Each structure stands twice: as structure tokens, then as C-alpha cells.
Amino acid sequence: MHTRRDFMQYALNAGFALGAAGLGANVTRALAQQKLTQDDLLNFDAKGQVTLLHFTDVHAQLKPVFFRPPDTNIGVGDYAGVPPHLVGEAFLDYFGIEKGGPLAYAHTMVDYVDLARSYGRLGGLDRTATLVKAIRAERGDDKVLFLDGGDTWQGSYTSLKTNGMDMVECMKLLKPDAMTGHWEFTFGEDRFLELVEAMGYPFLASNIFDAEWDEPAFEHTSYFERGGVKVAVIGQAMPYTPIANPRWMFPQWSFGIRPDVLQANVDAARGEGAEVVVLLSHNGFDVDRKLASVVSGLDVIVTGHTHDATPVALEVDGTLLMSSGSHGKFLGRIDLEVKDGKVSGFSSNLIPVFSDVIAPDPEMAAKIDEVRAPYEDECNRVIGRTDALLYRRGNFNGTWDDLICQGIMEERDTQIALSPGFRWGTTLLPGADITIDDLYTETSMSYPAVYRLEFTGAQLKEIMEDVCDNLFNKDPFLQQGGDMVRVGGFTYACTPEAGMGDRITDMRLTATGEPIEAGKSYTVGGWASVNEGVEGPAIYDLMEDYISRKEVVSLDPDAAAVKVIR
């Protein structure tokens, strides 16, 4: 029987290339060793005095995960067809990645299930800890900055039950130098401040202001001396947190992109003698791409939120953008060479955290066991099994949300279901058991009520257009960074390049094929409403009931709800 190691060896013999641009030199070595090792993953063209490590959007995944990269990730306007808006073979071609190799598996959905069975899970905070410690040992502590891009505390059963404390305790062991965030705020103002206090390193946000007095609500910049270089790190929290998430949970704070404020903070940092200015951002890739062109003086933006993973840092108008993926799959590294107060050279790599190849760090592994211990039995409780590949990520429906929409329609007896376009949520391979852990990676949140309402066809169309504009507006500053709301019970066509109000057409009830009429009322179920006082069962309870009753989940892979018109 083929074992995973055998497959890797085979793939290597077959001449797979480990590296994209930055890793080319590793190929010979990898081939010589005939297998992928921890050392291969750590192999890096070390440079200069400063090493930035970027870790972001782990969404509380302490353990290694499967996470299928999107098959649809459309960019519009000036952002069409450029990274990160490349998927599948186009992505492999652009970055020169061999099909079937480990990087192809880490970055694309091409042959996903087969490769997933061969290469195994990615991530796990204990594996990340091993990499971070190894890099600190190689470079020396005094050269390394470890930055947490946020969306760290939310997204698992244990993070929900401990109100984020499990993540704070584990992350502390990685000794981050600074953090920014987004979903962190959905624990509510008080809890958020408690956890920031507990973590013991700065939470930075240049763009959060007191809602009443319009004064900065947080520290915006931290200064570090690394390798004899003065480095300023400025934080930028998710600018649309009070719009994408319930504002009533943190009413004191107002966000926004605030490029003028950022420019002032960059200038102030330069004034303080910073030779390197880094933006630790939760803006999302396209927002940061635009920001790099309107704000001057940023050397590096380490960017999160949109869960994009690019194998190397990309240069935009003299600023390096590193987008380090999500769910713990990757660790981003950029080395900077600084001469005469300026960045004069760099090298970068997004390290895929292959969990079967990297030895778990014992200290972190023990801490993960400790924080999970009170919940371990419940986490591992099997509630059903899936015959289908269950995943979420992609601009339109994913199979996890198809299942959730079915669950909502059946359990709440509605004609239509809506499921939010979150980019978090992991993947289950066909044949896998569904555990409580798995269910909560898709549903863990602090406003989980499933409402049941009547909407007119006109209201439904308005909601669809509104969300679609937040995804496909040609001005990235008006994009909020989620995917399209997922739908059950009806189908529609979408034209991303069209304007607001004209993108959604041909809305029809799935059951009968009848067009959805503007003046007619339909029963609709949905979850994660940003309104206060929403009533209904929690999505995780509803789905536990539904999956338990089904026992085995199967989905029609061809039942696409959305026709995309390009």
C-alpha cells in the first residue's frame, strides 16, 4: 500500500519542483534527499538584519486542518487576473509551481482530494511553533519580529467556550511582538479589552477611533530595534468591522480605512528615525494593494483578512505585500537588508506548514492539550459522516454552506436560506466523520441565532446586490473582504463586472424554476445577522440536530446555485 511518505518520494522522483520563485534553489536539495523534510521547509535565502514573520487569520485552529483553496476568486477592474485573483492552473502557471507537488496542494484546489490524502493536513500551532523557534535560533532573537495579523481568537469550539482565552494562552508561547484584529471584537468590548490585557503584547490599530470623540482608541505604532535597525510597526484593524459584524457589540469604536491618518502615522514614524516601516494589516489584499499606492513610506505590508496566500511577497509601488493565507496553513517570512536607513534588498517565502513533516513543538503541544482537555471528548464526538467533499471558501456557494442552507430550510421550514459569505471554515474529505470540532470550525461565533423572516422578492434582490457590491465594487476601498452570501432554495446569475443593482439576475426558486417576484413574499431563514436581538436557535445547535438526523451527508456536486456571467 502506498503510504504518504511513498507518495512524496514518488512525486519528488517524478521531478516536482518544491519552489516558486523564492525556493528555486531548494529543488536540488529536495531531490537529493528524496523526501520533503522540515529542513526543506525552513531552507531560506537569509538576508540582511531583519526577519519579519507573519502569521494571520488562524481562526482559532490549534490543530492541523484541511483547507481547500478557492476555485473562484474573481478580481474586478484593475484587479482582474492578477494575484491573488488567480486560482487553479492559472495560479500554478503564474508562480511556476509544478502540478501535483506540495505547493500545488497548498495553494490550489487542483486534484485537491487526491493530494490531500497524500500530503495530509497543514497547520497546527505546535508545528508553527517549531518553525518560529527554528527561525529565531537560526537568525538570533534580536533579528526576528513575529507579527499576528488577527482573526486569531474566533473560529473553533474551544475558542467559543473559553471566550478566546485558549488562543491567547497558546499564542503567548509564540511571543508575538504585536497584533491587530477583526473578529476579536465580536467577543464584545469588555472581553476584548480583557484578552488584550492578558496577552501582554501590544494590540495596534491606527484606524480605530473613539466613536463619540473621534480620538485614537488604541496605540497605533510600536518601535523595535532588530539587527541594529529601528523598525516601526503600525497596526491597521479590519476597516469595516462595525459594518460586517455587529456594531452593537463594540459601540464605542469607529473604524474605517483612514489613509490620511495612516500617512500621518507613517510620517511620524519616519520622524522618530524608523528605518523600516511595516503595516500590520487586516485590510484585505486589494485594499492594501490600493493603500500601498496612496500612502507613501511603507516598506512592507503584511496583509490578512481575505485569506489569500501568495508564495512570495509581491511588490506594489515600492511596497512589499506579503499575504500569509489562513487557518495556520502558512507562515510568512520576509528578510530585509537595510543600508543607510533604507531597505536595500529582501527575500521572502510563504512557508507551507506540512503537519506530517514538521515535528510538533513539545511546549506548544502540551499547552494545546491543556486548553483543550476540558472539551476534548465533546470536540471529538462524532455527529455524522459525509460522502461529499465539504468546503466553504470561494466567491459563491461552497458545499459546507449548501449543507447549512439545506439544514436551515428543513429545520426552520423556509423556502429560502441565506448563509453568510465568511472566508473561514475548514474542509472535510469525502468519507470523513463529522465531529463537533468540524461543525464549529464552520459556525463558531458570538451571534449565531438563526432567524426566520418573510422577505419580498425585492428585498431579497436588494440584499443580494448589496453584498455583491461589497465583494465586487471596482474600488477596493469599498470592498469588505467577505465572499458572496450563500443561498439555498433559489438560483441566480451574477455579473461581477456590472454596477451596483445590475449584477444579480434571473433569481428563480430551485424547486419550481419560477422567477422570484419583486412583490411576492418568501419565507427566509439565515444566520449571523448583525442586528441586535435576533431570535432563533443557534446555527451550531440547528446543524447538529440536522446532521445527526441525516447520519450521512451527501450533496449533488452539480447543483450549482449560481451562474457566473463574465
Partner 1 sequence: MKLTRRNVLGLSVGAAAFTIAGIQARPASAATEATQKSIMDFTGGAEPAAGKVSLTAPEIAENGNTVPVTVSVDSAMEGDDLVASIVVFADGNPNPAVATFHFSEMSGAALATTRIRLAKTQDVIAVAKMKDGSVFMDKKQVKVTIGGCGG
Positions in the binding site for partner 1 (CB under 8 A): 213-215, 238, 240-245, 247, 254-257, 260, 305-307, 420-424, 462-463, 466-467, 469-470, 477-478, 480-483, 485, 500, 528-530
Nearer to partner 1, 19 or 476 (CB): 476
Rounded least distance, CB 214 to partner 1, Å: 7
Nearer to partner 1, 219 or 378 (CB): 219
Strands 300-303 and 319-323: parallel
Nearer to partner 1, 119 or 240 (CB): 240
Nearer to partner 1, 120 or 256 (CB): 256
Rounded least distance, CB 39 to partner 1, Å: 35
Rounded least distance, CB 483 to partner 1, Å: 6
Rounded least distance, CB 83 to partner 1, Å: 18
Q: Are 370 and 172 in contact (CB under 8 A)?
A: no
Q: What is the C-alpha separation between 348 and 124, in angstroms, rounded?
A: 22
- Reduced to 3 states (helix: H, G, I; strand: E, B; else coil), residue 36 is coil
Rounded least distance, CB 354 to partner 1, Å: 25
Rounded least distance, CB 65 to partner 1, Å: 16
Rounded least distance, CB 256 to partner 1, Å: 5
Q: Are 166 and 158 in contact (CB under 8 A)?
A: yes
Residue-wise DSSP of 256-305:
---HHHHHHHHHHHHHTT-SEEEEEE-S-HHHHHHHHHHS-S-SEEEE-S
Name which of 49, 58, 57, 52 is nearest 233 in CA terms: 52
Strands 122-123 and 64-65: antiparallel
Q: How large is the C-alpha radius of gyration of the chain?
A: 23
Look-up of cell digits 476534548? 376
Name which of 25, 30, 37, 44 is nearest 332 in CA terms: 44
Nearer to partner 1, 124 or 284 (CB): 284
Residue 253's H or E segment, with its range, is strand 253-254
**Residues whose CB is less than 8 angstroms from the CB of residue 221 and which lie 6 or more positions away in sequence, other chains included:** 204, 206, 232, 233, 234, 235, 265, 268, 269
Rounded least distance, CB 251 to partner 1, Å: 9
Nearer to partner 1, 113 or 211 (CB): 211
Rounded least distance, CB 375 to partner 1, Å: 25
Residue-wise DSSP of 68-98:
PPPS-----GGGTTSTTS--HHHHHHHHTPP
Residue-wise DSSP of 452-497:
EEEEEHHHHHHHHHHHHHHHH-SSGGG--S--PPEEESEEEEE-TT
Name which of 51, 38, 65 is nearest 426 in CA terms: 65
Name which of 417, 409, 403 is nearest 487 in CA terms: 417
Rounded least distance, CB 400 to partner 1, Å: 13
Rounded least distance, CB 9 to partner 1, Å: 38
Q: Are 348 and 322 in contact (CB under 8 A)?
A: yes
**Residues whose CB is less than 8 angstroms from the CB of residue 218 and which lie 6 or more positions away in sequence, other chains included:** 203, 204, 205, 208, 235
Nearer to partner 1, 173 or 244 (CB): 244
Q: What is the C-alpha separation between 57 and 139, in angstroms, rounded?
A: 25
Nearer to partner 1, 453 or 478 (CB): 478
Rounded least distance, CB 73 to partner 1, Å: 12
Rounded least distance, CB 531 to partner 1, Å: 8
Nearer to partner 1, 395 or 435 (CB): 395
Nearer to partner 1, 240 or 540 (CB): 240
Beta bridge partners of 349: 333
Q: What is the C-alpha separation between 560 and 402, in angstroms, rounded?
A: 9
Nearer to partner 1, 113 or 562 (CB): 562
Q: Respond yes or no on whether the N-terminal peptide bond of residue 69 is cis (omega within 30° of 0).
A: no
Nearer to partner 1, 254 or 435 (CB): 254
Nearer to partner 1, 38 or 456 (CB): 456
Q: What is the C-alpha separation between 170 and 204, in angstroms, rounded?
A: 20
**Residues whose CB is less than 8 angstroms from the CB of residue 249 and which lie 6 or more positions away in sequence, other chains included:** 185, 186, 187, 188, 189, 446, 447
